[in-house]
Each structure stands twice: as structure tokens, then as C-alpha cells.
Structure 1
């Protein structure tokens, strides 16, 4: 009896130190959030589910929750069995879900702005434990209200846009591509540091995305006088060219007439000598 007690006291700590077979499950949505969807197109979300060999999935659930509001409203979009043997069931005609060996997908056709929100995929185990992953889905917005402002003290133009999705910024100078002699654009394209002096010309900021583009311009006041001067100089040059051409033409005519008169005088002298 004492030997059994001695062995139990020795074996018990060893059992506690032995590694247990842990039960774990990992769920993650593969889409990079936030996911922006153009209305009328299809939304496709992919989720990866990784479970240990000891665990058995019983059901996969796709849900959507309102992103804003005091009391988020959650609705079920589709449910799938724990295996790919049975099909998934969507709650609406435009909702389709699928279950694969390593994950699940959710597709919503003809996306509408009301379909935006916080999408949740939940994996439920046989013992009742649940693991979820979330992804924000929003409407893809067109570019709105482009504006250009200037920081005169730093010779910097700043382009801003209201709320368009994935805006791309680019600059034009006098409606042509911008060159390094005019200025340098920041990495995100929103700022133009003007390097030419004085600041002159029409600066245009163009902002676009998948749904179109919009522009805004800034016109430097100094350009008006410089344009007038350049026009005056061009007019003066044209007048000088016309005067020069006219003078050369007159000289040629005079030379031609003088040559004709000399010929007639020589002919008359020759006739007089013969008589």
C-alpha cells in the first residue's frame, strides 16, 4: 500500500507535464479589408478554415451586421455544413455560399449599397465552441469635389478630394504633362512643390478611380502679363521680318530696273555709232 502511494505521488507530476492533445481552430477571411464593391457587380468573400484532426466542424455561418448605428442589426446570409458533401443554403436568391476542403466562400450578385456592412463568418465545432472572423464591406464611391489650394510662402499646391474610393492624383501644366522643371509631385500625388520661378501657368489636378475622374485648376496671376509680353515680342518680330522681306524685294526690283536701263543705253549708243 505504501508502495502504491509512493508511485502515485511520483507519477502524478509526470502526467501533468505530459503534452495534451490540444483542440484548436483558426478562421480568417482572405480578402483585404475594407472591401469596396461597385454597385451592380458581384461581391466575393473567401475564408480559410483550419481545424485540428481531433475537431469536427458541424456548421459554417455567414452573417452581416450593420457597420454604424447604436444597435447593430445582424442577419444570417447563408449556412453550410461542416463538410463539402452537402450544399450550402442562402437566405436570398442573390446569395450563394460554398464549402471546400480548406474553407468557404460567399458570393452576392448585383451588389447594392444596402449590402454593405460588417461580414462575419463563424465556424462551430461539435462541442459547441465557435470561432469567427470579420471583414468590412463598403460601396465603391466615385470621385467628388476636387479642389486645389496654394501655400504661397512655400510654393506648394495641394489637391484634395471629398470621399472617392482609391483616388489617383496626377498633375498637368498648361494642359500638358508636368515636367521636373516646373515642379515635383509628392509620393501620394496630392502635393505639387513648384520649382520654377516666377510661378506662372495653369496647374491642373486630375483625380480618378474606376468610376471616372474630375479636375480642378489653379491659374497663376503672373502668367497674364508674361503672356501679353510674349505676344508683343512675337508681333514685333513679325513686323521686322515683313520689313526686311519688303526691303529685300524692293532692292531686287530696283536692281532689275537699273540693269534694264543700262542695257537700253548701251543699245542706243551702239545704234548711234553705226549711223
Structure 2
């Protein structure tokens, strides 16, 4: 009976708690897609949406940063960057807040500025609500390589470094055609139409900071023009040999014919 009474009392308080939260609870959401990749020496802009009830007041907004891998030896741990109200700019003027602390801007981004950015909103009752966003430095393309799968007549482009990579293929310095093969949707794999694989295949990897390439070299392809030339030359040689053989046979036949005529004339003279 006591359990039923407690359950009924808890259920009766639930609407009040939900109503109270609707008026007093604070929520924080990053509006920037994650992870955020920033170009070297570029500008980092982080924006949060703070939802609050009509009776809720914000007393402080704190921006902090900590290493993405907390177990890294020698990492400084969580560092307070800037607060609102109270600070206009920090980090030698590179860091600033706008829109009452909901927008963070950092100029001259470097690898040391990478990490997990945490924004904490404190209300008038001292209750804290936080959100976080991972920020990384935009990496350039390094050194791609090409792997071959002979049994499946395919080539695979590998690049372990770089941000927002785009892949493309060339065959003998020309774009891939249907006669050569087709490329996978992500651009990393080239499925070659003919077997065995022949010629030079180049994988191009690029992003905003530049591009790099790797080439796989197989046996030279036997071109159609070359095959046609070989066929024509073979036909000419065959015709020449045939003509020479016919000429020799004709000369031999003529010689025997002349010899027969001379023998017949000698025989008639003797008679």
C-alpha cells in the first residue's frame, strides 16, 4: 500500500517537473557540423544555440578546450579560453566572442588550437549545461600509393593522410573511359575492363591544400594501330613472297618449254 502511495505521489509530481523544466531547463547545441576542420592560419568559428525557458536567466557562458586524446603524455588538460560576460578577447587578441557569448571566433588557427571545445552555460541557480565540439586542423595530401588486385582486375588508391580527399584516375595520362574501366563511387577503386591489366595508371588525390599522385605501371598495351600496321606489313610480305614464287615458277616453266622446243627442232633436223 505504501509503495502504491509513493508511486501515485511520484506520478502526480511528474507533470509539475516537466512543466518546471519547460520554463527553467537550459539546452546547448552546436550548430556547426562535426568534426570541424580548419585550414592552417585560417579562422575558426563555432556557434551554439542556447534554448531556455522564459523565466530562465543566463549568468555565465564559459568556453574551454581539452586535447582530443586525454591520455596523450604531457597534455595540459582542460583549459579555460574565454568567458562571457567578463572578457572581450583572449589569446593575444586572436580569440573573441559575439552574440552574447554564443559565437566563438579564433583567428590564425594552428595545430595547437585543435582539440575538443566545450561550452558551459550556467543559469542563475548555478546549474550548468554543457556541449562539446571536436576541432581539427585541415591536413594536406601526403603520399598516396596504388595497390593492384590481379585476380579481380582492379586497382586501389591508398592515402592515409589528408582531409576531405577527392580521388580521380588517369590511364596513359587520359581520363578513364568505359573501354578502360569504371571507378567506384568513392573514387578510390578502379575496376579495369580488360585483362591482363596493361599500361600506366595514375591515381590523383587532392583537397583544398593541393594534390599528389601515384602511378602503377604494368606491361605496355598492344595498341590497335600497331596491330593494324603489323597486319598490313604481314600481308605485303605475303604478297611479295607469293609474287616471287609465282615468278620463279613461271621462269622455270618457260625454261622447260624452251628446252622442249629446241629438242623437237633438233630431232626434226636430224630426220
Whether the TM-score (by the shorter chain) exceeds 0.5 is yes
Q: Distance in 2 between matches of 1:74 and 1:17?
A: 37
Q: CA deviation at 1:235?
A: 11
Q: CA deviation at 1:202?
A: 1.3
Q: Distance in 1 between matches of 2:38 and 2:58?
A: 31
Q: Distance in 1 between matches of 2:219 and 2:165?
A: 29
1:119 counterpart (112, 117, 121): 117
Does the residue aligned with 1:54 lie in a helix, a strand or coil? coil
CA contact (8 A) 2:168 2:204 kept: yes
* TM value normalised by structure 1: 0.72
CA contact (8 A) 1:80 1:98 kept: no
Alpha carbons of structure 1 residues 106 and 184: separation in structure 2 relative to 1, 3 Å: same
CA contact (8 A) 1:42 1:109 kept: yes
Q: CA deviation at 1:75?
A: 1.3
CA contact (8 A) 1:142 1:212 kept: yes
Alignment-derived partner of residue 148 in structure 1: 146
Size of the alignment, in residue pairs? Answer: 218
Q: CA deviation at 1:228?
A: 11
Alignment-derived partner of residue 65 in structure 2: 64
Where structure 2 has 5 or more consecutive residues not aligned to the other structure, the ranges are: 1-8, 237-271
Note the alpha carbon deviations across 1:166-195, whole angstroms, 9 max, x for none.
Answer: 110011111011111211111111111111
RMSD between superposed Cα atoms in Å: 2.6
Q: CA deviation at 1:89?
A: 2.5
Does the residue aligned with 1:114 lie in a helix, a strand or coil? helix
Q: Distance in 2 between matches of 1:196 and 1:228?
A: 14
Alignment-derived partner of residue 91 in structure 1: 90
Instruction: List aligned pairs for 1:2-151, cutoff 5 A.
Output: 16=13, 19=16, 20-22=19-21, 23-70=24-71, 73-81=77-85, 88-92=87-91, 93-100=93-100, 104-151=102-149
Q: Distance in 1 between matches of 2:199 and 2:11?
A: 83
CA contact (8 A) 2:167 2:187 kept: yes
Does the residue aligned with 1:154 lie in a helix, a strand or coil? coil
Where structure 1 has 5 or more consecutive residues not aligned to the other structure, the ranges are: 1-11, 82-86, 241-275
